[in-house]
Amino acid sequence: MDLNSYEDIAPLIGEKAEEGVKLLQNNPQYIQHFLGIILDSKAPDYKEKIGKLTKEIVVTLNDVHNYDDFQRLITSGYFIPTLLERSVTELTFSGMENLTSDDSYLFFSNHRDIVLDCALLDYVLFQNNKQLCEMAFGDNLMSNQVAETLFRLNGGIVVKRTLPLREKYIESIRLSKYFCETILDRNKSIWVAQKSGRAKDGIDETSPAIIKMLYLSMRKSKIPFSELINKCRITPVSVSYEYDPCDINKSREEITKLFNEGTYNKKKHEDLISLVKGLREFKGRIHVHIGKPLTDKQYDDHNEVAREIDRQIHLNYKLWPTNYFAYDYLEKTNKFEDQYKDFDTEKFLSRYCHLNDDVQKYALNAYANPVRSYLKELEK
């Protein structure tokens, strides 16, 4: 694999990684700014804690020489534990027995939070001594050199979104080839969302086009479709949040689209605002389930692969009281009342009482839809 041909999109390695580390060490205010997002600024020891952590991270960066080091020592060592302490009640996981420590995987995950979905997967992999993964991010999040350095030093792969249609297609093929070669030639794992953008409606469905691109990118090698799927060890991942900090924002955006004939013009820095909100605000409990790799079956086409990814994500999604109650409330049933008997339903509904009916209903459906997806799978 010629890594030089992917220098503009691949995670930082070698001298580039060392330069990225120096940039952060020479500008500790950027580290402090990120810590300011995930720390509780109202805590009495906030100033003392942010200063102490910043100094510790700057020193620890001396031991960072590649993105594996950064993920282990900085992201998993400081950033994620700090975030969990502030805005997560409990982080749990399951399915680790489906992975080996030596193999690489192409993780196909549902997508709810801009950066946390993959960061939490990486964190539980680290906690269980499994291989960490590179992560695909849209270039819309890389607003400046420092932001890009942080992402790519953490194993980030740049997905170029703002290109003309034909160039975008060519770049998608190139990106897909990078995914395949990274797994097949370098034995490095990769995280990718199951479709472009977050599932704002709570419906997690894989885009078959992403699977098709993988195959098209490797057609010169003449590897059969099913063999490629098996060799890439595609692994479905379900990330389940008890509360979505961006639920109201997502609902307003989608309702606006509905009334504007499918268009929505994002404001400047809107994605970054959502990123900060998702990191900072309360998420309750989070569960990460790692499914079974697609390595033991003959797959005829990309639709069949997408269907199997969806099946595993839907059945392994951890349903919380927020999901069960929203389903019963909207369906006007008490089918799952045992699942939320100790849940404060009135307090939950009060989150949305100030919204108009359309936005309120959309937000509640986003919680109810994973239950619907689960039930549909049971019927098949």
Q: Checking DSSP bridges between strand 284-290 and strand 88-94, what pairing results, if any?
A: parallel
Handedness of CA 367, 370, 372, 375 (dihedral sign): negative
Contact predicate 176/197, CB 8 Å: no
Domain co-membership, 204 together with 331: no
Domain co-membership, 306 together with 325: no
Range(s) of the domain holding residue 358? 319-380
Helix (H) or strand (E) holding 62: none
Domain co-membership, 293 together with 362: no
Domain co-membership, 223 together with 324: no
Which pair of tokens denotes residue 82? 């700090």
Domain co-membership, 49 together with 123: yes
pLDDT tens over the chain, length 380 residues: 888 899 999 999 999 999 999 999 999 999 999 999 999 888 899 999 999 999 999 999 999 999 999 999 999 999 999 999 999 999 999 999 999 999 999 999 999 998 999 999 999 999 999 999 999 999 888 878 888 999 999 999 999 988 999 999 999 999 999 999 999 999 999 999 999 888 999 999 999 999 999 999 999 999 999 999 999 999 999 999 999 999 999 999 999 888 776 666 667 677 788 899 999 999 999 999 999 999 989 999 999 999 999 999 999 999 999 999 999 999 999 999 999 999 999 999 999 999 999 999 999 999 999 999 999 999 98
User: Model-level pTM?
Assistant: 0.94
- Split into its structural domains, the chain has a count of 2
Which residue, of 282, 301, 317, is where some domain finishes? 317
Domain co-membership, 202 together with 307: yes
Which pair of tokens denotes residue 380? 């098949």
- Side-chain-side CA neighbours of 156 within 13 Å: the count stands at 24
Domain co-membership, 380 together with 263: no
Which residue, of 267, 297, 317, is where some domain finishes? 317
Contact predicate 77/60, CB 8 Å: yes
Which pair of tokens denotes residue 247? 């639920």
Which residue, of 297, 317, 337, is where some domain finishes? 317
The percent helix, strand, coil of the chain (3-state, each to 5) is: 60, 10, 30
Domain co-membership, 213 together with 273: yes
Domain co-membership, 303 together with 360: no
Helix (H) or strand (E) holding 267: none
Q: What whole-number distance in Å separates Cα of residue 199 and Cα of residue 108?
A: 14
Domain co-membership, 357 together with 268: no
Q: What whole-number distance in Å separates Cα of residue 201 and Cα of residue 206?
A: 14
Q: Identify any residues that bridge with 288 across adjacent strands, giving them in sequence order.
A: 93, 239
CA distance to 39, 56, 331, 370, per residue, from 335 (Å): 39, 51, 9, 15
Contact predicate 254/246, CB 8 Å: no
CATH of the domain at 310: 3.40.1130
Domain co-membership, 374 together with 297: no
pLDDT for res 332:
98
pLDDT for res 21:
97
Domain co-membership, 329 together with 256: no
Q: Checking DSSP bridges between strand 106-109 and strand 133-138, what pairing results, if any?
A: unpaired
pLDDT for res 196:
84
pLDDT for res 364:
98
